[in-house]
Amino acid sequence: MYKLKYTSATVFKYLTLVLAALAAIIPILVVFFASLKDKTEYANSSPLAPPTNWLHFDNYQKAFVNGKMLLGFWNTFYILAISVVGAVLIGAMIAFVLNRFNFRGSKILMGAFLLATLIPSVTTQVATYKIVNALHLVDTPGAPIILYLGTDIIAVYIFIQFLDNISVSLDESAMLDGASYFTIFGRIIFPLLAPAIVTVIILKGVGVYNDFYTPFLYMPSDHLQVLSTALFKFKGPYGAQWEVISAAIIITIIPILIIFLSLQKYIYNGFAQGSEK
Amino acid sequence: MSYKTQRKVIIFAFSAIPVILLFTFAYLPVFNMIKYSFTNWDGLSKHKEYIGFDNYKAIFTDPKYFSVFKVSLYYFVATFVQMGLALYFATILSYKLRLKNFFKGILFFPYLLNGVAIGFIFLFFFRPDGTLNTLLDLVGLGNLSHKWLLDTSTVNVALAGTSVWRYMGSNFIIFLGAISSIGKDVYEAADIDGANKWHQFRHIILPSIKKIVQLNLILAISGAISVFDIPYIMLGGSNGSNTFVIQTVDLAFKYGKYGLASAMAVVLLIIVIIVTLVQRLVIKGDD
């Protein structure tokens, strides 16, 4: 009896896992299939049927060139690089101050950061737009960059949790050697935060890479298109050409897949350590 | 420099930029938004006429504006499905299992994808001759085939489902991290006491990750209320898939109704805050 119950639980466990894996893969896989079919084959085959020629890359060429994907990649890349580096530095600095010093207003400051998480940024976008506009940043890469740098409570939260685990006696012994607070931060704390930094880089990087709303709203010019807005443009002129759209979708997925497969270990560790306690 | 002066310098130097950003891009917009919401400003003219609560009256009396709240309910329900699935898979994958890393990777991967790509993938998935209907035919459930996105009764279920597909992995991986940080000795002690897997989940895992679950729920719920990407990318808000944020963005940037759009945003913000506070009280009450 015990044995039977144990086995059915195991079967159930694997069954749900396989179903979930299929649910995760199939929607992407069929798009990949479609991207390798030519117009006639696409029109005459079931979406679930694999392509007859696995090396038919015409759609990719069309999508890459006509969609100016290279420009999209470049714009995404440098906006992402600046935002992520900035967010890591700013986040680590404010977390250091909030975690290590007890000063008048430190509680209020922490509260102000926490309270800000209650405000979903999409709700305030109408007013934020006016502020960005007043700073003359609309339709420049400065707009998304400054918005991504803004209050990232998740980053601050992750850094603070890590700082909790870094003993204050480390700071104190450095102080006995005459190190300044800046040295302590730069030479001791910041390097020790490395795992947290990786987490924040991944979280922030994913957020920026995937964001559609901000570039769509703040950078309407063609030459400022990022990957999401470049992809979105396929909707109009290629509305009926799903084989080309599919190729464009796969083009945006490939870099993510490569990064994911090569950094998998760090991604999991980052998330695991970031969520401790 | 003495440590006392250094302390002041570093507090100031390290807080200045974050604090300026915080106030400029988090608090100032809220303040301005409230101000705009009492005017009939078109977003361009120098002149803003104060009209009292007229915008708010319009939102709550005109069904055209109010109906978008109903759409949020689909995403709200989906949030709980998403959390449940994430918790289930995180729990079973924290035990010994074949192909553990393979399953972990596959369940998490959708979260890393671009929102526009996901929108397109599911536009393809839900097409009348698309993946879902073909799959249903294949397993003999062809009579369930449907024009998922064209029918107002299924469109929001389909979109909310897409949202679960997209975000489940992120909750899952965070829960998994939290669960794996629980010390092994706790389980061993439980094993000796004869606790089964359900007891372990109920009395060890759940209490240990309560805070993380709570944080995720708050983020997921405010996310559910402020959905934009998926319905906008897939349908431009048509067929009854219009959400609050699509409505607000359209009102402000398409129709130049800044005052009204601001009032909608204020209402949305208040709802998010109320939901969060209620939920915190409920969860705290458990202790």
Best probe of the B interface among A14, A124, A189, by most B CBs < 10 A, is A124
Measured between alpha carbons, how far is B163 from B81 in angstroms, rounded to an integer? Answer: 11
Q: Is the pLDDT of residue A275 over 50?
A: no
Contacts of A151 in chain B (CB under 8 A): 18, 21-22, 25-26
Which range is most confident: A95-109, A260-274, B182-196? A95-109
Q: What is the pLDDT of residue B146?
A: 80
Instruction: Select from A14, A119, A234 the Cβ nearest to the Cβ of B26.
Output: A119
Measured between alpha carbons, how far is B43 from A126 in angstroms, rounded to an integer? Answer: 9
Cβ contact, residue pair B113, A256, below 8 Å: yes
Instruction: Select from B104, B134, B222 the Cβ nearest to the Cβ of A120.
Output: B222
Contacts of A122 in chain B (CB under 8 A): 226, 228, 245
Residue B110's Cα: distance from chain center in Å?
A: 15
Contacts of A210 in chain B (CB under 8 A): 112-115
The pLDDT of A58-81, averaged and rounded, is: 92
Contact (Cβ atoms closer than 8 angstroms) between residue B89 and residue B107: yes
Q: Label residues B232-245 b or e (16+ Cβ within 10 Å = b).
A: bbbbebebbbbbbb
Instruction: Select from A46, A257, A260 the Cβ nearest to the Cβ of B134.
Output: A46
Instruction: Select from B17, B117, B173 the Cβ nearest to the Cβ of A90.
Output: B17
pLDDT by residue (tens digit) across B154-197?
Answer: 899 999 999 999 999 988 988 888 888 777 777 777 777 777 77
Measured between alpha carbons, how far is B97 from B104 in angstroms, rounded to an integer? Answer: 11
Tokens of A212: 């559609």
Q: Is the pLDDT of residue A1 over 60?
A: no
Q: Is the pLDDT of residue A127 over 60?
A: yes
The number of CA neighbours under 13 Å toward the Cβ of B202 is 5
Contacts of B197 in chain A (CB under 8 A): 9
Helices (H) and strands (E) in chain B, counts: 16, 0
Instruction: Select from B7, B93, B223 the Cβ nearest to the Cβ of A101.
Output: B7
Shortest Cα–Cα distance, A166 to chain B (Å):
17
Measured between alpha carbons, how far is B285 from A186 in angstroms, rounded to an integer? Answer: 42
Contacts of B105 in chain A (CB under 8 A): 260, 264
pLDDT by residue (tens digit) across A235-255?
Answer: 877 777 888 999 999 999 999
Q: How confident is the model at residue A168 (pLDDT cuts 50, 70, 90)?
A: confident
The pLDDT of B78-96, averaged and rounded, is: 90
pLDDT by residue (tens digit) across A19-62?
Answer: 999 999 999 999 999 999 988 888 888 888 888 888 888 889 98
Cβ contact, residue pair B212, A175, below 8 Å: no
Q: What is the pLDDT of residue B199?
A: 81
Contacts of A116 in chain B (CB under 8 A): 22, 26-27
Q: Is the pLDDT of residue A63 over 50?
A: yes
Best probe of the B interface among A16, A32, A122, by most B CBs < 10 A, is A122
**Backbone phi, psi, residue A260, to 5°:** -60, -45
Measured between alpha carbons, how far is B224 from B162 in angstroms, rounded to an integer? Answer: 12
The model's pTM:
0.85
Shortest Cα–Cα distance, B277 to chain A (Å):
10
Cβ contact, residue pair B174, A23, below 8 Å: no
Which has the closest alpha carbon to B265: A122, A204, A181, A179? A122
User: Could you tell me what percent of chain B has a pLDDT over 90?
Assistant: 24
Q: Is the pLDDT of residue A272 over 70?
A: no
Cβ contact, residue pair A228, B89, below 8 Å: no
Average pLDDT of the residues of chain B: 85
What number of other Cβ atoms are within 10 A of residue A113's Cβ? Answer: 22
Lowest mean pLDDT among A196-210, B50-64, B154-168, B270-284: B270-284
Q: What is the pLDDT of residue A276?
A: 44
Q: What is the ipTM score, two decimals?
A: 0.84
